[in-house]
Structure 1
C-alpha cells in the first residue's frame, strides 16, 4: 500500500488536507477492490494532532481528509490495521460464530456451591441439560445459557464471572494456523504504509471561528473532522461548540438532575471525576455506584450491563439490563448516557443487534413519556492489543463497525452521539480501553450536550 501526495502544498491553517491511498497486490499490480481498514493520524511530532477521516472508493483507492488546525510542520502517518481479506474473514467466519466467550457460573444454596460453564446463545432450546436465562424485554430470543449443575436447580445461579482466557481460546479454535499467520501477523496487520510519514507545512493564519460551531445538541451532522488536540490535553471539537468545565461548573450544569451512566468502565471513569465533591453511597462489586450531592441536588448512578465482561464476580440476580433500567425510571429530570460496545464484541451480530433493538425501543418509550430527557450514545475507541489473537477477538474494526451500527440504529430519534473514536485514536498516548487523558475531554463533551 502506498500513501500518495495530495493537495499538501501551500496548506493554510483551517483548511482540509487530502491525501490518497493506493493499494497493490503482491505482484505490484494495482488492486481494484476496497475493504481495507486504516488508522490515519496527522501530528506535529508532539502533542498537537488530529485523526483522518478515511473514505473507501471501493476501487482500491482511499481518500483521507485531515483538518489543519495549527501552524507549522505536520506529519501524516497511515497504518493498515486489517487488509480486506482479514476484514472479510472476521465478518463471515468469526463474528457469526456462537460461544466466543464463556463465563463461570456458581450455583449456590445454604450448604452447597457448584460451578458450571455459561455462554450467550442466539436462540432458546439450543441444547439439552442446560439452564436458559432470558429476558424478552431486553434480549429478545437471545439467552444466557449455563450447563446444569450436578444437583442444584437452575434458579440457584448466584454468581458469574467471565473466563478471560476463553476469548483467546475461542479465537485459537476458530482461526487456523495459516489464517492467523497470514491475516493477523506482519506484514498484514498494523503495518505502516509506504510513503508514511508524509511531511507538510501548514502556513497562514487560522481562518475558522470555533464560536460559529453549532451548539452541542441532538442529531448533529457528521463533520469531515471531529476535532484536534491543541496540546495533548485540550481537545478542540469540530462537531459542536464544546466547553471546558471546572468541577464546580460541571456540578452546576447538572444541578437538580439524575444522571444515569449505563455501560462499561469507560463511562465509570466519568463518574470518578465527580467523586471529589460528592458522596459515594452505594457499591456492589463495582456493578452499581451511586454518587449524590445535597448541595447541588444531583445524583450520578453508574450501572454495569448484565452479562458483562469483568474480573470480579457478579451477583447474577442483581444484574440489570439497559432496557429494564430505562423502563424503571420514574423521574423525567434525567440524563442517560449509554455505552453499548465493549462488553458485546464477543456477541454475534444478530444477538448484539437484538439487544440494541430493545434498548432502542426502551429509549423511545422513555422519550415518549419524558420529552425533555437527554439521552446520549457514547461510542467506543481503539483499544490495546497484547497478543495477535486479541486482534481477532477484540478487533478495532469490530468496534468501529459497532459504532456505525449503533449510530444508524439510534439516528432520527432525538438522541445525541458522543463519538470519541477519533479523539482517542489521535492522542499521543498509546491506544488503551482506559485512556485517562481523553476521558477528561469526553466529560467536557458530555456536559456540553447537557448544557449547550
Structure 2
C-alpha cells in the first residue's frame, strides 16, 4: 500500500507544482478501503446513485477560453402567448453560445432558474432540462396571477464543471484538518482526515458504532489518547491552472445572468373555467407569495407571527437539532424569538454548541449538537464530536419528539461516495428510530444555495450541493420523514444566496417546521 501511495504521489507531482501545506495526496478510491464495507445491495444502490447524477460535458477539452460558454452571449426565449393562465406551465428555451457568439454543440452547463413577481413578493424555481446540444428547456409552474418575470443564471459553464469533477476525483482532500494533542506542558498538532497515507504512524479514531473512519498522524511525543480539539486548518491553494482559472471569473462566467432575446415576462391570468390544470411536471416543493412560503404538497402551512403561537405549538415537545450551522440557525431563531425558551450554553463554544434551551413551564426542550467530522469549524473539543447516527440511536422517539437534521455543506469538497456513506448510516439509524417509535417526526434539510466567488467555488460550489441534494432525496425516498427543501427556498427567494440564509428565509423555514409539528388546520 505504501508503494502504491508513492507511485500515486509521483504521478501527481509530475502534473501539479508542489504547494505549501500539502502533507498528503490520496485518491478517494484508495480511501474507500477505510470504513465498513457496504452490503451488495448498498453497493448497487451507490452505483445507481452515481449514475443518476452523472453530468454531461464537452468531449474535447483544453480548447481556448473563447470556445467556452458565455452567459453574456447566451439568451433565452419564452414560448407561448404573452398571456397565460394559472395552472398552466411556462416553457422557456435557453440557447448557450460561446465568446465568439457561436452556438455551443454540447451540454453540461450548470443553470438555475427562477420565475418571480417582485411587487407580489412571489417566486418559484424552475426545472432545467439539458438537451446536451447547447440548448436547454426550463419549465415553470404558473401559480399566481400577475406579471411574472423569468430569471436564468449560469452558475458554471460546462468547462468549469469539468474542473470541479476533476477536483472531486483527483484532489478530494483539499481541505486540511488538524487536531491538538496535549498532556501537561507538552502539546503537538498533526494533520487529520477521513484517511491518510500509511507512510507514517497513524492514530485511528474510526467510530466504533458506525465504522465512520477518521485518522490523525500520530504525535511524535504524545499518545493517541491525548487528542483535545479538532479544527479546520486551511484549504489547499493553487488548486487549478491559470487556464482553468479563466472558467471561474466573477462577473464573466461565474453565477452570471443570461438575458432574454425578446420579452422577459408574461402576464398570468386566473384559470379559465374550461381549463384543465397542467400536471406539475416541475414537481416544485413550494413557492413564495406575499413573501410567505406556500408548500405544494398536501400539508397545510401556517405562519407563526408571535412567540405565544410558537409556545402553544411546541408545548410538551422535545426538539433535537443535529447537524451543521444551517440547522443551528433554527435553534438561534427560536431562542431569540421565544422569550420563555431559556438558553443554557454550559460553557459551549459560541457557534458550535452543544446548546440546550428549556421552557419548564410549558415542558419544552430544544437542543442542538453538531455532526461528527469532517467539520469545517475553527475549534471543537473532540468530546463534542458526535455522529448523527449515534445520536439518533440515543433518542427514544415518540409523538412528542421532533428530530431535525442537516448534513451536507461540510461534505462539499469530498467525493459523493463519502456523502452517500454518511447518509447510509443516518438512514439506518432513522429506520431503527421509526421502527421503535413510528410517531416520531423527522425532518431532513437539503443544502441551500450560497454566494460564490472564484475561491470558494473550488471546494464549496453549488454544483457539489446539487449533486448531494439529489442523492439525499433519493436515499430517503419512501421513509416516513419530511424533506425541507432549503435549495428551493433559497433559489425561489429574491434575497442574495448565502450559506446562512437571511432571517426572512429562516422564518419561513421555522413556520414550515412548526406546521409539520402541530398539524394545524388550513386557514
Normalised TM-score (structure 2): 0.76
1:84 aligns with 2:149: no
Question: Match for 1:318 among 372, 379, 384?
Answer: 384
Contact 2:396 2:433 in 1 (8 A): no
* Aligned counterpart, 2:45: none
Contact 1:8 1:17 in 2 (8 A): no
Contact 1:3 1:195 in 2 (8 A): yes
Tell me by how many angstroms 1:204 deviates.
Answer: 2.7
Provide the secondary structure at the position in 2 that maps to 1:193.
strand
When residues 176 and 420 of structure 1 are mapped into structure 2, their CA distance, relative to the original with a 3 A threshold, is same
Greater CA drift, 199-208 or 130-139 = 199-208
Alignment of 1:86-125 (within 5 A): 86-95=160-169, 97-121=171-195
Tell me by how many angstroms 1:146 deviates.
Answer: 1.9
Tell me by how many angstroms 1:278 deviates.
Answer: 0.8
Provide the secondary structure at the position in 1 that maps to 2:214.
strand
Question: Match for 1:396 among 462, 479, 491?
Answer: 462
Tell me by how many angstroms 1:222 deviates.
Answer: 8.4
Tell me by how many angstroms 1:158 deviates.
Answer: 0.3
When residues 45 and 198 of structure 1 are mapped into structure 2, their CA distance, relative to the original with a 3 A threshold, is farther
Give unpaired runs (5+ residues) of structure 1.
209-220
* Aligned counterpart, 1:62: 136
Contact 1:86 1:184 in 2 (8 A): no
* Aligned counterpart, 1:190: 255
Question: Match for 1:245 among 282, 304, 327?
Answer: 304
* Aligned counterpart, 1:218: none
Could you tell me how far apart the structure 1 residues matched to 2:141 and 2:190 are? 53
When residues 95 and 334 of structure 1 are mapped into structure 2, their CA distance, relative to the original with a 3 A threshold, is farther
1:381 aligns with 2:451: no
Give unpaired runs (5+ residues) of structure 2.
1-73, 274-279
Tell me by how many angstroms 1:311 deviates.
Answer: 4.5
Deviations 1:317-369 (A, max 9, x none): 23111011011123434211111111221222222221111111111111111
Could you tell me how far apart the structure 2 residues matched to 1:222 and 1:27 are? 35
Alignment of 1:361-372 (within 5 A): 361-372=428-439
Deviations 1:263-315 (A, max 9, x none): 11111111123222211134421321111122221211111112254544211
Question: Match for 2:242 among 177, 190, 202?
Answer: 177
Alignment of 1:402-417 (within 5 A): 402-417=468-483
Contact 1:107 1:114 in 2 (8 A): yes
* Aligned counterpart, 2:360: 294
* Aligned counterpart, 1:340: 407
Tell me by how many angstroms 1:22 deviates.
Answer: 2.1
* Aligned counterpart, 2:203: 131
Greater CA drift, 300-309 or 88-97 = 88-97
Provide the secondary structure at the position in 2 that maps to 1:103.
strand
Contact 1:341 1:402 in 2 (8 A): yes
Could you tell me how far apart the structure 2 residues matched to 1:8 and 1:176 are? 47
Could you tell me how far apart the structure 2 residues matched to 1:300 and 1:442 are? 16
Provide the secondary structure at the position in 2 that maps to 1:359.
helix
Could you tell me how far apart the structure 1 residues matched to 2:457 and 2:483 are? 26
Tell me by how many angstroms 1:192 deviates.
Answer: 1.9
1:153 aligns with 2:223: yes
Structure having greater relative contact order (Cα 8 Å, sep ≥ 6): 1
Tell me by how many angstroms 1:134 deviates.
Answer: 0.7
When residues 391 and 125 of structure 1 are mapped into structure 2, their CA distance, relative to the original with a 3 A threshold, is closer
Question: Match for 1:12 among 69, 85, 96?
Answer: 85
Tell me by how many angstroms 1:256 deviates.
Answer: 2.1
Tell me by how many angstroms 1:183 deviates.
Answer: 4.9
Normalised TM-score (structure 1): 0.87
Provide the secondary structure at the position in 1 that maps to 2:205.
strand
Question: Match for 2:510 among 435, 443, 446?
Answer: 443
Could you tell me how far apart the structure 1 residues matched to 2:203 and 2:173 are? 15
1:200 aligns with 2:260: no
Could you tell me how far apart the structure 2 residues matched to 1:223 and 1:299 are? 38
1:280 aligns with 2:343: yes
* Aligned counterpart, 1:227: 286
When residues 222 and 162 of structure 1 are mapped into structure 2, their CA distance, relative to the original with a 3 A threshold, is farther
Contact 2:86 2:143 in 1 (8 A): yes
Provide the secondary structure at the position in 2 that maps to 1:433.
coil
When residues 265 and 294 of structure 1 are mapped into structure 2, their CA distance, relative to the original with a 3 A threshold, is same
Could you tell me how far apart the structure 2 residues matched to 1:24 and 1:8 are? 25
Could you tell me how far apart the structure 2 residues matched to 1:43 and 1:98 are? 37
Contact 1:130 1:147 in 2 (8 A): yes
Greater CA drift, 269-278 or 59-68 = 59-68
Root mean square deviation, CA, Å: 2.6
Contact 1:118 1:145 in 2 (8 A): yes
Matched residue pairs, number?
Answer: 429
